[in-house]
Structure 1
Amino acid sequence: MMLILLLTAINRWTARWRSERGQATAEYALILVGAAAVAMLLVTWVAKTNRISNLLDTVFRHITGLVS
């Protein structure tokens, strides 16, 4: 009797774990899609405003000023 109760409890626990495993995968996929969308928007904005080239110019000017 005790063995049957133990096996039933294990079966319920593993069934619950298996059903939630797919949900976690879907949540991770949605997070990755959201992060990719934000990155795409950021890259588009940076490309249009030339902020990265201005930042790199400033950094290189500062470094060459320290070396000279």
Structure 2
Amino acid sequence: MIQRLHTHEHGQATAEYALVIVAAAGIALVLIAWATQSGALPRLFDAVIERVINMVPGG
């Protein structure tokens, strides 16, 4: 009986994982769209590159 109950949950767990992945992808798309439209992404990349260059001796 316990084994039978456990096997019915496999499909439910798969569906939950799929929903989590879809939700994470949706959030990522919203963040990417915001960062692209606001100009935050290029500023972030510029700041990272500038910091890396400043860390290099003679940079």
- Map residues 51-66 of structure 1 onto 2, 5 A cutoff: 51-66=40-55
Larger Rg: 1
Gaps of at least 5 residues in structure 2 are none
- AA matched with 1:16: L
How many residue pairs get aligned? The number is 57
Query: Which of 16, 19, 30 matches 1:41?
Result: 30
Normalization by structure 2: what TM-score? 0.78
Gaps of at least 5 residues in structure 1 are 1-11
Structure with more relative contact order (C-alpha pairs < 8 Å, separation 6 or more): 2
Find the counterpart in structure 2 of residue 32 from structure 1. Answer: 21
Alpha-carbon spacing, 1:63–1:22, altered in 2? closer, same or farther (3 Å) = closer
- AA matched with 1:17: H
Answer yes or no: is 1:15 the counterpart of 2:4: yes
Name the CA distance, whole Å, in 1 between partners of 2:10 and 2:24. Answer: 21
Identity %: 33
Normalization by structure 1: what TM-score? 0.70
- AA matched with 1:58: A
Question: Which is helix-richer, 1 or 2?
Answer: 1
For the residue of structure 1 that corresponds to 2:37, the secondary structure is helix
